[in-house]
Amino acid sequence: MNNCVSDSSPDEPIILARPAGGFAGPPLARAIPVPVLPPPEFPFVDMPRRLAFWDAACALALWLAYAFLIFCSGVAFLLSTSWPPLGFLSVNVLLGVFALFIVLGVIRFRRQSVASLGLNRPDAARLILGTILAVPAAYAASTAANLLYMSLLSGGFDALLEERSELFAMMPELSFGTIVVFSLFVGFHEEVFFRGFLLTRLTVGLRSRAAAVAVTSVIFGLLHAYQGPAGILQTTFLGAVLGIVVCVTRTLWPAILAHAFFNIVGLVLMPWLAELSEELPAAAGG
């Protein structure tokens, strides 16, 4: 048998062999960055139904109370007149900041991470493919809503433009840079609040993703009532499509990017639509 120590007397010290390099311990552990992954069943979050309903109801009530206070106190009018680059759209910035504040406060209180909202780090393929599919789906939903609304009107497309002319007239003239930054912020805060927060809570509370998508989309549409009946219908359809995108991709980022892109195109085309809505009645009268 091969002994570890040979030709040595009991009085001699035993010297243990060391590997080459003089280091006998384990190699130093390297810190490997771990991506923040979504919950396996996102937009489902692991929490009791009662708390899920409570979170959704309280967040929505707080946001509505804040919006009511903003408009009744005159702050909305003051912002619209004192912030010319955005005009009345500046109110959306104020409401969006408050919505993000509510969501952040709730998830911190519940000791949840931003991954529970779908703000995980998606792989590039899922992000790109999800966004590519979400953008045409958003326009398909918008087109379907407009066609449905026009079928309910006797005047068709002309009547639709006339019905939305008030919204077009309210829109300030924005630079392209302002449009991009504003649209990205709106896409972010609305998706975080509606699809990231309310959708996850209602998925738990209603025990159905389909029902949660439907209810969230209706709420999303009704809160765009300032755009008129056509705007409510369009944003409801848009919210449903974005909710489906979130459920399929299990991340919020494709919906955020598609929402922002949709808003950018809409705001860029808004001056042309405003002119068109003014020219059509004149042409018909002439």
Look at residue 39 in the predicted model and tell me its pLDDT: 53
Entry field: residues in the chain: 286
Q: 280: pLDDT confidence band, cut at 50, 70 and 90?
A: low
Q: Are 153 and 159 in contact (CB under 8 A)?
A: yes
Gap between the Cα atoms of 172 and 231, Å rounded? 18
Question: Up-side HSE of residue 216: CA atoms within 13 Å toward CB?
Answer: 35
Around 163, how many Cα atoms within 13 Å sit in the side-chain half-sphere? 19
Contact 202, 216 (CB under 8 A): yes
**How crowded is residue 96: how many other Cβ atoms within 10 Å of its Cβ?**
18
Query: Model confidence at 183, in pLDDT bands (50, 70, 90)?
Result: very high
Which tens digits make up the pLDDT trace of 27-83? 444 444 444 444 556 788 889 999 999 999 999 999 999 999 999 998 888 888 877
Q: What is the pTM of this model?
A: 0.82
Least confident of 75-84, 169-178, 262-271: 75-84
CB environment 60-80: b (16+ within 10 A), e (fewer): bebbeebbeebeeeeebeebb
